[in-house]
Structure 1
Amino acid sequence: TFQRVYSGDQGLFYGLIPGSDLLLDVDVSGNSIQDTVAFQLSKRGNKWFATATNHTDNAEFYVGSEIKRASIGYFGIFQSASLYSGPKFKASDYETTIDHWAYLLQITGFCESKNFFNVMNTYDRAKFTFGFYQLAAHTPNDNLILLFRRFTESPKFKNYFPELKIINGALHRVDENGSATNLEIVMNTGPNGARQLQLFMNYLNPIRKKIDEQEVLHAARLIHWAKNDKKMRDIQVDIANEILQHKMSKVYHKRYDLDGESDIICAAIADIHHQGRASVKRVKIALASANRLDALIDINANYTNRSAHLRQALKELTDAGKIGNKVYHAATNEFV
């Protein structure tokens, strides 16, 4: 019967099932982990918690709450805003190093995470998003993969992600036998064949519709590391700043001719495109309207909460005299 159905003799497949070498043997007790930070994972109701059992900071902490909404394709964990905790990004802490860009980061950071460094979610298309600037895993050569590449330069990286290594400039998962899997291979596996980092996504969150211990472990690792290492938080700021400056100069200015434009308008445009809630065409229409700022803030009626948060962030910094006094200088990619 087998031969009839499958058209003759079948060869045996001795290789790994695609992606299976990305799976970790997660010990939820943490007892088997000796040389790196060990995490005990536990679930109460729909909430996950973790304890770094062999670290000086060994207090139990909240990782995230489960969400399963098949109607909109959401499966994973997220953090309720009321339960956010830990260090926060403040522009004033970084103004001396990254200048006025710190305030643009604070605006979008407020909208994304209330500027908490350790916010994450695993439920949407990207499968994993992390940080105060909410960098997503799916984008090739952008966002979260840039952050992880830079993380590898930290002496504490191996304490949290011992199975990751840069090989020939790309992030790899190295298994216990020394076999390496390139997590930066670009695949056309996204919606409508969009290019994305499928293996990086699968390493962070193996199965989209199942909430598994591996995604919880990775979230716990990042949350704990962000709380306990200022240099890790500084790396988040460096990468977010590099992304913002690059896109302002190479993308947004070329689209909208921003030379001489107010920092407030630039901040609104950057926030719109960081979240991806409007097309270039719609932004151009907003910029041509009588009240450009309101048109940008309210550019998409499906994002009323985001609009309210953006309006609040802009108002607070304007009232404090931190924005509204500078314009974008394209030749130097600075605000003057």
Structure 2
Amino acid sequence: MAYDFKIRSAVTSTGKTAYYAKVTGLTDPEFFVAYKTKYEERFGLYNVSVSNNLVYNAADYVNEFGFWAYFIEATAKVESQGSFLCLNTYDRAYFTFGFMQFAAHVPNGDFVRFFRKLLTLPNALEYFPRLRLINDRIFYKNDAGATSQLENDSSSQKLMEYLNPTTNEVEQQELICSARFIHWASNDPKHRRVQVEHSISLYKENMKKYSKRLNLNGYPAKVCFMICDILHQGRGTYDRISYALDTDSHEKAFQNLCTIGNTHYPTRINGLKVHLKKLEQAGLFNKKYKADTNEFV
């Protein structure tokens, strides 16, 4: 049976509008969904709260995913402090969720593929009773049983608007969909595992592509990681990265990569460097990339 969420709002002591949700018919306590915010001319929600048991920790997943669990960890920390509940609905993506901040505006992008995987979970209909996965595409099913496709190779706009109808104001549908994601991630370890699996799959796929373009065989993990993070965030181009790698020293290449975007994103880059150093000192990040197997050895 589908969960029915009741939403309430309250104004905090600092003047923020906060939204809370409760599953009707259950004795479970209400939970925090998000704060309201304005970004440029857009209104939306954000949740950057961090709960100790709802934070990505590579050590929790290394037995299943090996070194790749550590490989994504620094990005997770700077994106969201590793929060499985990280949410925003106020920018051009309309809906962004997860510790890697998967964004809904890209057709076949990280959020769309992530959501497809979520819809294969046994309890998917409890959270999104109107959505169906048909031929690996997301469809909406109306009361009459007719289905309409929400995303394809060229657009995810209908899916974006299903999750968040507009950015002109915070709307009930936006709040309900946000509550569904927050509750699902909070209460279902399978949901959280999908976040992890998809994040690792994303970086593994990217490493194949980046290595083919940049010839990364034999490069240290920290150089490869920084390339992944640069292109994940979008703060640099292949040409700029290629120029940074044009040196006979891997350490110099790493330092060069750390300058890309440093004018606008110094906090992120410093955070990455600190976390990578911690992993290196623990002996957890001293591998090199082997292109023919797409693994670090």
Counterpart of 2:259 in structure 1: which amino acid?
Answer: D
Counterpart of 1:244 in structure 2: which amino acid?
Answer: Y
Counterpart of 2:204 in structure 1: which amino acid?
Answer: Q
CA drift of 1:130 comes to 0.7
Q: Does 1:222 align with 2:181?
A: yes
Q: Does 1:133 align with 2:92?
A: no
1:25-50, Cα deviation, whole Å (9 max, x unpaired): xxxxxxxxxx3112111111322111
1:240-283, Cα deviation, whole Å (9 max, x unpaired): 1111111111x211221110010011111111111111111221
Q: Does 1:51 align with 2:19?
A: no
Q: Quote the Cα distance in structure 1 between the aligned partners of 2:165 and 2:229.
A: 30
Q: Is the 8 A contact 2:39 2:90 kept in 1?
A: no
Residue segments in structure 2 that go unaligned for 5+ positions in a row: 12-16
Within the candidate set 76, 98, 102, 2:44 is matched to 76
Q: Does 1:263 align with 2:234?
A: no
Within the candidate set 31, 42, 48, 2:8 is matched to 42
TM value normalised by structure 2: 0.91
Question: Structure 1 residues 209, 89: closer, same or farther in 2, change over 3 A?
Answer: same
Q: Which residue in 2 is equivalent to 1:24?
A: none
Within the candidate set 144, 148, 158, 2:111 is matched to 144
2:168 alignment partner, SS class: coil
Q: Quote the Cα distance in structure 2 between the aligned partners of 1:216 and 1:317.
A: 38
1:296-315, Cα deviation, whole Å (9 max, x unpaired): 22311111221122122212
Percent of aligned positions that are identical: 37
Q: Does 1:65 align with 2:64?
A: no
Q: Quote the Cα distance in structure 2 between the aligned partners of 1:158 and 1:105.
A: 30
Counterpart of 2:287 in structure 1: which amino acid?
Answer: K
Q: Quote the Cα distance in structure 2 between the aligned partners of 1:305 and 1:180.
A: 45
Q: Which residue in 1 is equivalent to 2:128?
A: 161
Q: Is the 8 A contact 2:218 2:288 kept in 1?
A: yes
Q: Is the 8 A contact 1:297 1:310 kept in 2?
A: no
Q: Which residue in 2 is equivalent to 1:240?
A: 199
Q: Quote the Cα distance in structure 2 between the aligned partners of 1:113 and 1:172.
A: 29
Question: Structure 1 residues 257, 163: closer, same or farther in 2, change over 3 A?
Answer: same
Question: Structure 1 residues 257, 55: closer, same or farther in 2, change over 3 A?
Answer: farther
CA drift of 1:149 comes to 1.1
Q: Quote the Cα distance in structure 2 between the aligned partners of 1:334 and 1:268.
A: 16
Q: Quote the Cα distance in structure 2 between the aligned partners of 1:224 and 1:312.
A: 32
Q: Quote the Cα distance in structure 2 between the aligned partners of 1:313 and 1:298.
A: 17
Counterpart of 1:221 in structure 2: which amino acid?
Answer: R
Q: Which residue in 2 is equivalent to 1:304?
A: 266
CA drift of 1:74 comes to 4.1
TM value normalised by structure 1: 0.81
Q: Which residue in 2 is equivalent to 1:103?
A: 70
Matches within 5 A, 1:152-191: 152-187=119-154
Question: Structure 1 residues 334, 52: closer, same or farther in 2, change over 3 A?
Answer: same
Q: Is the 8 A contact 1:139 1:197 kept in 2?
A: yes
Q: Is the 8 A contact 2:108 2:152 kept in 1?
A: no
Q: Does 1:320 align with 2:278?
A: no
Question: Structure 1 residues 281, 75: closer, same or farther in 2, change over 3 A?
Answer: farther
Residue segments in structure 1 that go unaligned for 5+ positions in a row: 1-34, 188-195
Q: Quote the Cα distance in structure 1 between the aligned partners of 2:259 and 2:128.
A: 41
Q: Is the 8 A contact 1:186 1:198 kept in 2?
A: no
RMSD, aligned CA: 1.7
Question: Structure 1 residues 48, 269: closer, same or farther in 2, change over 3 A?
Answer: same
The more displaced of 37-46 and 253-262 is: 37-46
Q: Is the 8 A contact 2:18 2:36 kept in 1?
A: yes
Counterpart of 1:335 in structure 2: which amino acid?
Answer: F
CA drift of 1:186 comes to 4.2
- Find the structure with the greater CA-based Rg: 1
Q: Which residue in 1 is equivalent to 2:57?
A: 90
Q: Quote the Cα distance in structure 2 between the aligned partners of 1:273 and 1:54.
A: 45
